[in-house]
């Protein structure tokens, strides 16, 4: 197996590389509310609804407007609370509060071993994405991310395809040379909008029916000997329930074949 045709795999971060939302971002938002003297708190269910708005500052802004604040009040509060939240979340990462999803570092090393370039396209803030990826790669043996696109690099957040389009441009590859790995409806739509075939690994806040546009849906990344449940695999690229370099190369090839039809 070689990576001749598959040149790059572009990973989402939140919900994909790690389950960061329920016990990470959400907790940081609530601490930032408390530190600001606000009584607002986001419980797990409410946060799942709020997650439909990508971008923490954008999520706060919409929440404050829907809570009755004026646009100006909402903008000022969102900026202030998001700055505080980001510092709190960064500290959570630096202190090791968040671990990657099982199978992630194995997959990263698997791809690096066959020369496939790794990249990230996230709507999260670079202030915490950098330390997050540094800690993630400490667990890997040879993987490195050649390109990291964050919410700070784009004007429009997912499901807009801008983050993926920018990652492709910085990688100097076309959409047909790459595969995306995502967890959510917003993410799968963003990848599709950039013409990139997508693998979905739904997590805490997404379900198989949310990611129907993906070319492959697994319940987890899987491990040799501990396969994941295969939820949708129309091309038959991951019959063993393990997301590895071979499955990603096969998905790209099969999808290219779809495009030729
Ligand atoms: C998920 C997001 C992010 C995080 C919060 O990003 O929408 O906004 O929820 O991080 P992705 P910030 O799934 O694309 O990685 O507060 O830094 O935005
Ligand atoms: Mg995500």
Instruction: With a cut of 90, say whether residue 256 has pLDDT above it.
Output: no
Segment 51-62 mean pLDDT: 97
Give the distance (Å) from ligand 1 centre to CA of residue 4. 32
Instruction: With a cut of 90, say whether residue 75 has pLDDT above it.
Output: yes
Ligand nearest to the CA of 183: 2
Give the distance (Å) from ligand 2 centre to CA of residue 239. 25
> What is the length of the chain?
261
Segment 31-48 mean pLDDT: 98
The predicted pLDDT at position 4 comes to 55
The predicted pLDDT at position 172 comes to 98
**pLDDT-derived band at 3, boundaries 50, 70, 90:** very low
Tens-digit pLDDT profile for residues 180-196: 999 999 999 999 999 99
Position in ligand 1 atom list of the atom nearest CA 127: 17
CA distance 185 to 240: 25
Give the distance (Å) from ligand 1 centre to CA of residue 59. 9
Position in ligand 1 atom list of the atom nearest CA 29: 16
Give the distance (Å) from ligand 1 centre to CA of residue 124. 4
CB-defined site of ligand 1, < 6 Å: 12-15, 21, 25, 54-56, 86, 122-125, 151, 158, 187
Segment 200-219 mean pLDDT: 94
User: Which one-letter DSSP state was computed for residue 148?
Assistant: E
The residue contributing the CA closest to ligand 1 atom 1 is: 14
Going 242 to 243 to 246 to 252, the CA torsion angle's sign is positive
Assign 49 to helix, strand or coil.
helix
CA distance 195 to 178: 9
The residue contributing the CA closest to ligand 1 atom 16 is: 56
Give the residue numbers annotated as catalytic, written as ranges.
12, 14
**pLDDT-derived band at 212, boundaries 50, 70, 90:** confident
């Amino acid at each position: 197996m070689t990576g001749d045709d598959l040149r790059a795999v572009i990973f989402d971060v939140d919900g994909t590389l790690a389950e960061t939302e329920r016990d990470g971002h959400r907790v940081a938002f609530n601490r930032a509310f408390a530190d600001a003297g606000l009584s607002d708190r986001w419980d797990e269910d409410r946060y799942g609804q709020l997650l439909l708005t990508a971008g923490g500052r954008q999520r706060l802004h919409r929440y404050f407007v829907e809570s009755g604040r004026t646009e100006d009040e909402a903008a000022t509060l969102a900026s202030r609370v998001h700055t505080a939240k980001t510092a709190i979340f960064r500290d959570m990462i630096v202190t090791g509060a968040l671990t990657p999803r099982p199978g992630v570092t194995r997959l990263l090393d698997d791809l690096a071993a066959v020369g496939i370039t790794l990249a990230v396209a996230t709507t999260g803030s670079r202030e915490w994405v950098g330390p997050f990826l540094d800690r993630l790669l400490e667990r890997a043996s040879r993987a490195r991310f050649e390109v990291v696109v964050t919410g700070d690099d784009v004007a429009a957040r997912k499901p807009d395809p801008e983050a993926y389009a920018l990652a492709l441009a910085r990688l100097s590859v076309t959409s047909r040379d790459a595969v995306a790995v995502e967890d959510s409806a917003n993410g799968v739509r963003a990848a599709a909008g950039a013409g990139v075939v997508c693998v979905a690994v739904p997590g805490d806040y997404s379900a198989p029916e949310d990611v129907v546009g993906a070319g492959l849906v697994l319940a987890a990344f899987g491990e040799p000997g501990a396969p994941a449940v295969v939820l949708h695999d129309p091309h038959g690229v991951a019959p063993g329930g393990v997301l590895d370099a071979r499955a990603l190369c096969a998905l790209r090839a099969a999808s290219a074949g779809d495009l030729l039809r």
